[in-house]
Amino acid sequence: MDKMIMEKMEFYGYHGVFPEERKLGQKFYIDTTFFFDLQLAGKSDDLNQTINYAEVYDVIKGIVEGHSYQLIEALAENIASIVLKTYTKIKEITVKVTKPNPPFDIHFSGVTVEIHRKSV
């Protein structure tokens, strides 16, 4: 199956278990891979035959910046669920959520969860 990949979208959100995270917020990086047939769009050069990634970006931004989750797993799950329901052309989705600055005295470049879901 064909793929459309949106990498390292950066948003400011209020997600975390600790009250400070949910009050102060921080950056989150989102990567998505959409699995669907791109052949007709490629042959026709018609935006209506594909997914408008600018619109998908706005949907994801609304989820990340408009809601608050304790777990980045829940954030990833909601992104996957809403995108699959909104864009029925997408048959499968992979969502990666990276929290680059978790509130721990640990030195690494962040924590990432990655999920893969299929439309039902």
CA distance 120 to 118: 6
98: tokens are: 């990276």
Listed by start position, the domains of the chain span 3-118
pLDDT digit string, tens, across residues 67-112: 999 999 999 999 999 999 999 999 999 999 999 887 777 777 788 9
Question: What is 3-118's CATH number?
Answer: 3.30.1130.10
Average pLDDT over residues 44-66: 98
The band of 57, judged by pLDDT with boundaries at 50, 70 and 90, is very high
Give the pLDDT score at 106: 72
Nearest to 15 by CA among 57, 71, 77: 71
pLDDT-derived band at 118 (thresholds 50, 70, 90) equals: very high
Please tell me which residue in 27, 91, 99, 118 is annotated as part of the active site.
Answer: 99
Please indicate whether residue 96 is annotated as part of the active site: no
For 82-93, write each residue's pLDDT tens digit.
999 999 999 999
pLDDT at 102: 77
Residue 64 has pLDDT above 80, yes or no: yes
- Cα-based angle 32, 81, 113 (whole degrees, multiple of 5): 50
The pLDDT score that the predictor gives to residue 104 is 72
* Residues ≥6 apart with Cβ < 8 Å to 21: 14, 15, 103
* pLDDT given for residue 110 in this prediction: 83
pTM score, two decimals?
0.94
pLDDT score recorded for residue 39: 98
